[in-house]
Amino acid sequence: MHAATALASDHPIARAATVVPIQPAVRREPPTQRSPRCSACAMRAFCMPPELSADDLKKLDSLICSTRSVRRGDALYRAGDAFQSIYAVRAGSFKTMVMHRDGREHVTGFQIPGEALGLDGIGTGQHNGDAIALEDSVVCIIPFAQLEAMCREIKPLQHYIYQMMGSEIVRESRQMMLLGTMTAEQRVATFLLGLSRRFKARGFSAAEFHLRMTREEIGCYLGMKLETVSRMFSKFQRERLVHANGKTIRIVDPDALARV
Amino acid sequence: MHAATALASDHPIARAATVVPIQPAVRREPPTQRSPRCSACAMRAFCMPPELSADDLKKLDSLICSTRSVRRGDALYRAGDAFQSIYAVRAGSFKTMVMHRDGREHVTGFQIPGEALGLDGIGTGQHNGDAIALEDSVVCIIPFAQLEAMCREIKPLQHYIYQMMGSEIVRESRQMMLLGTMTAEQRVATFLLGLSRRFKARGFSAAEFHLRMTREEIGCYLGMKLETVSRMFSKFQRERLVHANGKTIRIVDPDALARV
DNA sequence: CGCATGTTTGATATAAGTCAATATATGTGG
DNA sequence: CCACATATATTGACTTATATCAAACATGCG
């Protein structure tokens, strides 16, 4: 299978969700709908602990009973929104970003199917940043108050949520190290290898994939300007480490890339 | 009260803990001892949810029944150590750091009394980085497995732990923005104002305090070289925003510092 | 198919890094 | 308790990685 479609909205997982109705320009309640069950979901291995009993899974299905479609460029939530739920990406992809009062903004992460969104609201009850769809996407809605209640009953679920949050803390501290200590070249190499690893874990090609974000968004994530991102892609291409054709990336020499 | 002693080991909170026995050079089991109760602890407002019943507090006292002393420069834990417990700083201060295989290291945070340590182990069961005491310090040990069990019984405690982890996620994303988008001058200003705010919340002077970390550690936290940190301190001094005499800091014009 | 949006590349500017010398703390053993 | 050794901090001169500005080029979406 060709992994260039990894994040495309015609991906099998996206197709499994009901077709998104065309949205009128007028703002209204975001479209939600009943979802297929967790127990039947292809992404379950990424969202949920493996050791749940059939009985636990049934409870879980009663909790996560709706999905939401978000069109490319639209926000799943914005900074300051009241925190109600966390989300699991079911299809598509997102960026999360924080903004400083002076308008300076920074991308804190990119999320692909099976990954969580919305943890930034747990601390204060308000989301700390925006989550923007990079393409037409679908998320599962997990109401946090009910999840908390269920965690008091289902020990593996409780443990899994702690682990998920703990892993996010570790991911962020790695990103701080990247931003604090690496050169532009190393940051871009690390970024590509990280994406590659995540695609591979989901059964897509580790070598070739399609970026859904712009050079500017990558730069904003890696703490550099879009021109620098572009120059590093060109440099890796000259050195035969990566073949970059616009948004299509083929990693030619992952070992050399890791040594950069 | 003069806040220059905010982190000094003769601080009242430190004195409340039993005196640390001198350690022989030989490595041995870290010294732990029974602690005074949470219910009587001056730092409780920072470690624990306010709405606990007397009964809940009693349970909590049975959970957090030991402290550990860590001498200046020693590690509370190191990367790769099995994760057993989280910790609350009772007296003193720490830095947490992550190291890349090539030896490059980065400071991910500084912790003062009432703040948590060890959350980086929850995700994988191993600590992701080191926690090093910046001065002779004391921590409360909170065995995580038992904490988890207690969270299934005491709802406010469960909620508090989620909030604590959520707040750490938000703190880290702010630090990513700092590292990704701010100038050296803005980073140092933000660092000083952040410390000031935390001291103030603990009843110490927001205007004058004592740094327990070196310029190099500050630089490693803020993603710049120690010389740059020093130059920024000198610059703020020339501009009458801050008076910096070695490790003693007096914030002269906090509003101007925030506008930098 | 056309225009807005995104990308690449080059020339130049600049913030921060590096190297080096000096100054000032801090801690230790006599 | 002082003197020395070591660690930490400051400052200056120079270098460099990355930002900035600008122009040409490609892409893809409506």
Distance from CA of B108 to the nearest CA of A (A): 6
Residue corresponding to tokens 């190099």: B216
Task: Pick out the nucleotide with least CA–C1' distance to A234.
Answer: C8
Closest residue on chain A to B119 (Cα): A166
Domains of chain A: 32-171 (2.60.120.10), 182-259 (1.10.10.10)
Distance, in Å, from the CA atom of A117 to the CA atom of A94, rounded to the nearest integer, reads: 9
Q: How far is CA A86 from CA A62, A142, A158, A173, in A?
A: 16, 5, 14, 21
Distance, in Å, from the CA atom of A237 to the CA atom of A245, rounded to the nearest integer, reads: 9
Residues of chain A contacting B223 with CB distance shorter than 8 Å: 179-181
Distance in angstroms, CA of A249 to C1' of D26? 17
Q: What percent of chain A has pLDDT over 90?
A: 72
Sheet holding B208-210, edge to edge: B208-210, B248-251, B242-245
The predicted pLDDT at position A26 comes to 43
Distance from CA of B170 to the nearest CA of A (A): 6
The predicted pLDDT at position A34 comes to 65
How many beta carbons lie within 10 A of that of residue A171, not counting itself? Answer: 17
Distance from CA of B26 to the nearest CA of A (A): 32
* A246 Cβ within 7 A of any nucleic strand C atom: yes
CB spacing of A165 vs B169 below 8 angstroms: yes
CB spacing of A172 vs B170 below 8 angstroms: no
Distance, in Å, from the CA atom of B231 to the CA atom of B218, rounded to the nearest integer, reads: 13
Please write the tens of the pLDDT for every residue from B22-61.
Answer: 343 444 456 666 656 788 888 888 888 888 888 888 888 8
Task: Pick out the nucleotide with least CA–C1' distance to B183.
Answer: C15
Residue A159 has pLDDT above 80, yes or no: yes
Please write the tens of the pLDDT for every residue from B212-257.
Answer: 999 999 999 999 999 999 999 999 999 999 999 999 999 999 999 9
Residue B258 touches chain A, beta carbons under 8 Å: no
Q: What percent of chain A has pLDDT over 70?
A: 86
Distance in angstroms, CA of A217 to C1' of D27? 17
Q: What is the mean pLDDT of chain B?
A: 87
Which residues 41-60 of chain A have a CB within 8 Å of chain B?
Answer: none
Token pair in block for residue B229 = 């940190």
Residue A16 has pLDDT above 50, yes or no: no
The predicted pLDDT at position A76 comes to 96
- Angle (CA) A190-A191-A196 rounded to 5° is 95
Residues of chain A contacting B123 with CB distance shorter than 8 Å: 163-170
Please write the tens of the pLDDT for every residue from A176-216.
Answer: 999 999 999 999 999 999 999 999 999 999 999 999 999 99
Would you call B203 exposed, middle or buried from its count of C-beta atoms within 10 A (0-12, 13-18, 19+)? exposed
Closest residue on chain A to B121 (Cα): A166
pTM (two decimals): 0.88
Q: On chain D, which bases lie within 7 A of the protein's CB atoms?
A: 8-13, 17-22, 26-28
From A105-114, B23-32, B56-65, B76-85, the region with the lowest mean pLDDT: B23-32
Would you call A15 exposed, middle or buried from its count of C-beta atoms within 10 A (0-12, 13-18, 19+)? exposed
* B63 Cβ within 7 A of any nucleic strand D atom: no
Distance from CA of A230 to the nearest CA of B (A): 17
From A11-25, A113-127, B37-51, B104-118, the region with the lowest mean pLDDT: A11-25
Residue B89 has pLDDT above 50, yes or no: yes
Q: What is the 3-state secondary structure (H, E, C) of chain B?
A: CCHHHCCCCCCHHHHHCCCCCCCCCCCCCCCEEECCCHHHCCCHHHHCCCCCCHHHHHHHHHHCCEEEEECCCCEEECCCCECCEEEEEEECCEEEEEECCCCCEEEEEEECCCCEECHHHCCCCECCCEEEECCCEEEEEEEHHHHHHHHCCCHHHHHHHHHHHHHHHHHHHHHHHHHHHCCHHHHHHHHHHHHHHHHHHCCCCCCEEECCCCHHHHHHHHCCCHHHHHHHHHHHHHCCCEEEECCEEEECCHHHHHHC
Residue B175 touches chain A, beta carbons under 8 Å: yes
